[in-house]
């Protein structure tokens, strides 16, 4: 997320990063501490270890995380609303970009 977050976040750059990650073409290097902090805080609020059972907001677990990204698949239900709010707040706190592949918006 460094490349996108340090520049003005644009939909094209965010989509390119998402597609690269989906294709398992990950960047190698040091962990981005912002991504690590985001991931740890999010998981502390909404565990991705199966402990929430049918109350989990995640469609697949564990979340997909790399040195520069966290990919989340949310269930389509009202229980996702607090997760979306938390993701946006944490992304702002850690200076990260949120990309919605369904809408194409960053």
Contact between residue 32 and residue 1 where contact means Cβ atoms under 8 Å apart: yes
pTM (2 d.p.): 0.77
Element at 43 (helix H, strand E)? helix 33-45
Per-residue pLDDT tens, the chain, 106 aa: give them. 444 444 446 777 777 777 777 776 666 778 889 999 999 999 999 999 989 888 889 998 999 888 888 989 898 877 888 999 999 999 999 999 888 888 777 8
Instruction: Give, rounded to a whole angstrom, the gap between the first and last alpha carbons of the chain.
Output: 12
DSSP secondary structure, 66-89, as one string: ETTEEE--B-SSGGGHHHHHHHHH
Q: How far is 38 from 32, CA to CA, in rounded Å?
A: 10
């Amino acid at each position: 997320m460094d490349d996108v977050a340090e520049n003005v976040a644009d939909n094209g750059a965010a989509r390119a990063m998402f597609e690269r990650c989906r294709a398992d073409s990950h960047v190698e290097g040091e962990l981005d501490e912002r991504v690590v902090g985001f991931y740890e805080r999010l998981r502390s609020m909404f565990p991705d270890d199966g402990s929430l059972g049918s109350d989990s907001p995640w469609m697949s677990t564990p979340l997909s995380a790399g040195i520069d990204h966290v990919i989340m698949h949310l269930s389509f239900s009202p229980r996702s609303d607090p997760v979306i709010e938390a993701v946006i707040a944490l992304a702002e706190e850690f200076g990260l970009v949120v990309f919605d592949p369904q809408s194409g918006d960053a």
